Amino acid sequence: MSVGNQTRNTLMAIAIVALSWQASAQNVVKPTISAQTQNLDALLDQSYNAMYNLRFDEAMRLAESAKRMANDDPVPWVAQACAALFREFDHMHILRSELFAADDKFADGPAFTWDPQRRKDFDIALAGAEKLAQERLKQSKDDPRALFALTLATGLRADDAALIAKKKFSALSYTKSANGYAERLLAISPDYYDAYIATGMGKYIIGGKAAPVRWMLRLGGLKGDQEQGVKELTLVADHGRFLMPFARILLAFDDLRHNNTAAARKKLEWLREHYPNNPLFLQEIAKLDHPGAGPGQN
């Protein structure tokens, strides 16, 4: 393989960083938030909790109830898209520590094929979220609910392109867009902690690349700083709402990459306790107890 091809493959691997993790910008409850929005987000909390527990039908049903509660809000549509994508990830066994052990784990391998009905659910939910979000932005260019929805929806498109379809150039384009929406939201509302998962993951992965690769990515508008990336992911893990569990998964995998098994175990035990219906966390703990099983360590 030529140096040019190697560099291109590395760049495409970084695109995948979009992951569910490129995603989101949901706020903590603020004093000025309406009672309806508080009730809506409480219902969405239940939907995301069901999703992390792999109860996908329940997650979809709760998001559908939230849609009926506020038919002009794009955020419930995003919750449905999240559930549809995570359901497909679970079906394909994509979210595992081994996937994060090296960049080529992201880039290599054949494309997966969606279940047709799950693909339809995903596409309909994303289209609904994006339509409502754009309508809200026409009314107010800084509408936080719209920016949240577009951040996460664009990140989910990046996840699909990178991890399932293996369309790496599309994944990179979606990744840049998701970061742009997240930065817009954080500029006006820095306490929307879930948004930091988009900016933090990009900085973390790009910051770990060789200097020439970082330089090339910087030309494309993607900056890297691994230490700052960890700090931003930690903000989500400590203060986030919908994406707090996801940030803890990512940080646990980072601990495994750096052989910090005690820290990884602590995070995985928390996840296992809070989401007992999800076998992933128990499986990752078992890898720590039996290293031959190959946790994502370098």
Please list, in sequence order, all residues whose beta carbon lies within 8 angstroms of the beta carbon of residue 140, skipping any fewer than 6 positions away.
Answer: 146
Which residue has tokens 């052990």?
Answer: 101
Q: What is the pLDDT of residues 55-89, one digit of tens each?
A: 999 999 999 999 999 999 999 999 999 999 999 98
Asked whether residue 248 is domain-assigned, the answer is yes
3-state secondary structure of 52: helix
Asked whether residue 297 is domain-assigned, the answer is no
Asked whether residue 160 is domain-assigned, the answer is yes
Residue 186: its pLDDT value, please? 87
> Percent of the chain having pLDDT more than 90?
44
Q: What is the pLDDT of residues 220-251, one digit of tens each?
A: 555 556 777 788 889 989 999 998 998 898 89
Hey, what are 23's tokens?
């995603």
Asked whether residue 34 is domain-assigned, the answer is yes
Q: Looking at residues 265-281, what average pLDDT do you find?
A: 96
pLDDT for 219 beyond 90? no
Residue 212: its pLDDT value, please? 42
Residue 272: its pLDDT value, please? 96
Asked whether residue 111 is domain-assigned, the answer is yes
Asked whether residue 298 is domain-assigned, the answer is no
pLDDT for 11 beyond 50? no
Q: Which value, to the nearest 10 degrees, does the dihedral of the CA atoms of residues 80, 81, 83, 85 take?
A: 170
pLDDT for 21 beyond 70? no
pLDDT for 16 beyond 70? no
| Residue 141's pLDDT band (cuts 50, 70, 90) | very high
- pTM, two decimals, is 0.79
Asked whether residue 294 is domain-assigned, the answer is no
Q: How far is CA 276 from CA 53, 77, 88, 215, in A?
A: 7, 26, 20, 43
Q: What is the pLDDT of residues 186-202, one digit of tens each?
A: 899 888 888 787 777 65
Domain count along the chain = 1
Residue 176: its pLDDT value, please? 79
Domain that holds residue 261: 3-289
Asked whether residue 205 is domain-assigned, the answer is yes
Q: The domain spanning residue 261 has which CATH number? A: 1.25.40
Task: For the chain, give the mean pLDDT.
Answer: 79
Q: Looking at residues 259-264, what average pLDDT do you find?
A: 93
Lowest mean pLDDT among 95-99, 222-226, 240-244, 278-282: 222-226
Cα 193–chain centre separation: 13
Hey, what are 268's tokens?
């995985």
